[in-house]
Amino acid sequence: MEKFYIIKLLADENRFNIFMKLLEYGELCVCEIEELLRIKQANTSKHLSKFKKMNILSSKREGNLIKYSIKEKFLNENMDLIKYLMM
């Protein structure tokens, strides 16, 4: 995946904040992201689907919830970017 597309994806403030919260917490469901960032469920889902489409996030079902996390492969391949964002 080209770095340009990752930067473009993270240029949106809501997506950037979602990404940073996923880095911080490891995995979150839509309702947790809504609460942390105070954005509506529909917007949260729309942003998460863009991450999934670019193969950045994985998801797993836990009961009625779907938990999202950043794929380990993405983290490993983009460690310089992650370190920069964490500064």
CATH value at residue 73: 1.10.10.10
65-84: b (≥16 Cβ within 10 Å) or e: eeebbbeeebeeebeeeeee
Q: Specify the pTM.
A: 0.90
Total count of domains within the chain: 1
Cα(3)–Cα(41) distance, rounded to whole angstroms? 28
Diameter over CA atoms, the chain? 36
Question: CA 18, CA 4: separation in Å to the nearest integer?
Answer: 19
Q: By residue range, what is the domain housing residue 17?
A: 3-86
pLDDT at 1 over 70: no
- Scanning the structure block, which residue is given the tokens 């729309």? 46
Higher pLDDT, 3 or 74: 74
pLDDT for 14-71, tens place per residue? 999 999 999 999 999 999 999 999 999 999 999 999 999 999 999 999 999 999 999 9
